[in-house]
Chains A and B, each alone.
Chain A
Amino acid sequence: MLEMTVEKRLENFTIDAKISCETSGIVAFFGRSGAGKTSLVNMLAGLLRPDRGRIAVNGTTLFDSDQGIDLPPERRRLGYVFQEGRLFPHMTVRANLNYGLRRVPMGERAIEQDNVVVLLGLETCLARRPHHLSGGEKQRVALGRALLANPRLLLMDEPLASLDQPRKDEVLPFIERLRDELAIPIVYVSHSMPEIVRLADTMVLISSGRVEAVGAVDDLTSRLDLRPLTGRYEAGAVIQARIAGQDRDFGLTELAFAGGRLRVPHVRLAVGTQLRLRIRARDVALALEMPKRSSILNAIPAVVRDIGTEEGPQVDLRLDAGGATFWARITRRSLVDLNLHPGTPVTALIKAVAIDRYSLGRSAGPGRFLGNDD
């Protein structure tokens, strides 16, 4: 349980935030650059002192201005993975990894160096210095170092933001492994919705120093009123699915979800594996009837629930397919032509190729992590 009620005047704006959520899996702090995400995490870590308020993690009070409690960072037991890694340049990777571990009493060491080295694939880096590591390796070492301090909560502040896409893809599966194989709750700060959708269960939406909403990622991304904050470009829905079958001949994977079945380009996972996928609103087209001959593999019966009120030539519609929420972005002209209203039954058409491996993330649970497409 993470409870945080803080006020803090900063140079150019004020933080006034109230967060209360479960700390299972990954909690994402989402907001634009400068929304105050990093300040909030720094307050959690004890690197920035709130003017007023209270911070508690799993029942332990870290800060309370009324009671005069302010634990120094070294006594908070929160691991912190910084955007820039912040590895100690004068130490080897091994010494960096051990820095926090050395300060954990023997009896409280649930995570040891060997586990982390294997988990993060650092076997070949141990004797090297940070200077000689690639960007992705640096972030993996930073992850390992924070983990080895055996924290009660792991804070990650945009750990992928300084990496290019291939490096991001290199590090992301490791974060998924942390989430799935170690029972450490994670607070993940990001301004990238794809990252959050892939990793997080709970989302805290932050804007101008305030918390606008706290809830499940799926719920918040599908709320129209939050659209200005979650972003129109990012519009899309997260769907929980399960691998139902593999079509080797055509290189397709069949996924089962609440609203039926989806065929997507091959995903190298065992049948039965839970995963979640994100379908962007702009990849969903609508038809009033089931098309007969069409290249589009996925035609899902659905009902229109909600119609966005945005100005402009495009409009977003929320659809319900057997309990699963979809978003479709169509032109205002089509909306009028098809005479769509809340309650209209439609067929959602989703191009299989629009669902790429970046939209897939493995759901919590044991098993292998997502590999590359063949």
Chain B
Amino acid sequence: MPTLTPLETEALLLSMRVALWSVTISLPVGLLVAWLLARRDFIGKSAFNGLVHLPLVLPPVVVGYLLLILLGREGPLGRALFSLFGISLPFTWQGAALAAAVMAFPLMVRAMRLSLETVDRKLESAARTLGARPVVVFATITLPLMAPGIVVGAVLAFARSLGEFGATITFAANIPGETRTLPIALYTLIQTPDGEAAALRLTLISVVLSLAALAVSEVLARRLRTRIEG
């Protein structure tokens, strides 16, 4: 097995950490949003739906810039975060994770919403007649039945986060060891004279990583589906 250079290891681990955090923070929010979109009717629902899907159609650089405006030191949210908690997101790996999460969010919500829509609501009402409160019904019936969709959504979001470039570089910049994820490191190498060989290695690492994520999701989703269907 070919060994990785310290730089490659750093970029790889950083990318994984950013992507994992991106998925972790977007999972609960995504679930809530998917549930709202699939199950609730409220005023402004289509506007809300549009907002959720915006990162899918906006140029990533625009998303990154919007995040910068919102969460920068002078931004309305950024100022509050800094004065209340001393947190500043731009130019940090946490900021990179947030940018990746925002970009991957629509994909995750879409997968979860689709699977939630296939859950038979009659099973939920049956559970209610058996004495389960709505929260319990959600935890014991709805959630397990939509599990394959959650896994697919999480893996999609993970893969999307691994590849996130535009919003990340705009919001979190290109700081070695802090926000220089795989794609950004690759970009940097391409910009460097004689960087082609190293760039090729990073490309290979990215391909392997993405394929592995896909394979894992495939296996997990299949296992969950057989669990559900018996």
Closest-CB distance, B228 to chain A (whole angstroms): 5
A149 and B130 CA atoms in complex are apart in Å by: 6
Interface residues of B in 91-149 (CB under 8 A from A): 120, 122-123, 125-133, 140-141, 144-145
Chain B contacts for A145, CB-based, 8 A: 130
Selected from A128, A130, A146, the residue in CB contact (under 8 A) with B130 is A146
Selected from A84, A88, A89, A100, the residue in CB contact (under 8 A) with B131 is A100
A145 and B132 CA atoms in complex are apart in Å by: 13
In the bound complex, do residue B122 and residue A73 qualify as a contact, i.e. CB atoms below 8 Å apart?
no
Selected from A74, A89, A90, the residue in CB contact (under 8 A) with B128 is A74
Given contacts A74-B131, A89-B228, A99-B132, contact A80 B145 (CB under 8 A): no
Does A72 reach chain B (CB closer than 8 Å)? Answer: yes
Does A47 reach chain B (CB closer than 8 Å)? Answer: yes
Chain B contacts for A80, CB-based, 8 A: 126, 129
Does B28 reach chain A (CB closer than 8 Å)? Answer: no
In the bound complex, do residue A149 and residue B131 qualify as a contact, i.e. CB atoms below 8 Å apart?
yes
Does B229 reach chain A (CB closer than 8 Å)? Answer: yes
In the bound complex, do residue A89 and residue B122 qualify as a contact, i.e. CB atoms below 8 Å apart?
no
Q: What is the chain A residue whose CB lies nearest that of B147? A: A90
Selected from A75, A86, A104, A131, the residue in CB contact (under 8 A) with B122 is A86
In the bound complex, do residue B227 and residue A90 qualify as a contact, i.e. CB atoms below 8 Å apart?
yes
In the bound complex, do residue A90 and residue B228 qualify as a contact, i.e. CB atoms below 8 Å apart?
yes
Does B2 reach chain A (CB closer than 8 Å)? Answer: no
Does A268 reach chain B (CB closer than 8 Å)? Answer: no
A100 and B227 CA atoms in complex are apart in Å by: 21
Count: A-B pairs, CB below 8 Å: 67
Q: What is the chain A residue whose CB lies nearest that of B132? A: A74
Chain B contacts for A47, CB-based, 8 A: 125, 128-129
Chain A contacts for B141, CB-based, 8 A: 88
Q: What is the chain A residue whose CB lies nearest that of B137? A: A74
A132 and B125 CA atoms in complex are apart in Å by: 23
A45 and B131 CA atoms in complex are apart in Å by: 11
A341 and B131 CA atoms in complex are apart in Å by: 58
Does A82 reach chain B (CB closer than 8 Å)? Answer: yes
Closest-CB distance, B129 to chain A (whole angstroms): 4
In the bound complex, do residue A103 and residue B131 qualify as a contact, i.e. CB atoms below 8 Å apart?
yes
A80 and B123 CA atoms in complex are apart in Å by: 12
Closest-CB distance, A292 to chain B (whole angstroms): 61
Does A177 reach chain B (CB closer than 8 Å)? Answer: no
Closest-CB distance, A82 to chain B (whole angstroms): 6
A66 and B141 CA atoms in complex are apart in Å by: 34
In the bound complex, do residue B129 and residue A74 qualify as a contact, i.e. CB atoms below 8 Å apart?
yes
Chain B contacts for A77, CB-based, 8 A: 131
Given contacts A129-B230, A130-B230, A132-B230, contact A86 B126 (CB under 8 A): yes
Given contacts A47-B125, A82-B126, A99-B127, contact A89 B229 (CB under 8 A): yes
A76 and B227 CA atoms in complex are apart in Å by: 32
In the bound complex, do residue A82 and residue B133 qualify as a contact, i.e. CB atoms below 8 Å apart?
no
Closest-CB distance, B150 to chain A (whole angstroms): 13
Does A348 reach chain B (CB closer than 8 Å)? Answer: no
Task: Give per-residue flags for A101-120: 1 if the beta carbon is below 8 A from chain B beta carbons, else 0.
Answer: 00110000000000000000
In the bound complex, do residue B129 and residue A89 qualify as a contact, i.e. CB atoms below 8 Å apart?
no
Does A78 reach chain B (CB closer than 8 Å)? Answer: yes
A183 and B73 CA atoms in complex are apart in Å by: 71
Q: List 8 A-B contacts (CB under 8 A).
A: A46-B128, A74-B130, A74-B133, A77-B131, A89-B123, A89-B228, A100-B131, A103-B131
Task: Give me the interface of B with A, judged by CB distance under 8 Å.
Answer: 120, 122-123, 125-133, 140-141, 144-145, 227-230
* Top-5 shortest CB links A-B: A129-B230, A131-B230, A100-B130, A103-B131, A73-B128
- Inter-chain pairs besides A73-B129, A74-B128, A128-B230, 19 sampled, C-beta below 8 Å: A47-B128, A47-B129, A72-B128, A72-B133, A74-B131, A79-B130, A80-B129, A86-B123, A88-B126, A89-B228, A99-B127, A99-B130, A99-B132, A99-B140, A103-B131, A104-B131, A131-B230, A132-B230, A149-B131
Task: Give me the interface of A with B, judged by CB distance under 8 Å.
Answer: 45-47, 72-80, 82, 84, 86, 88-90, 99-100, 103-104, 128-132, 145-146, 149
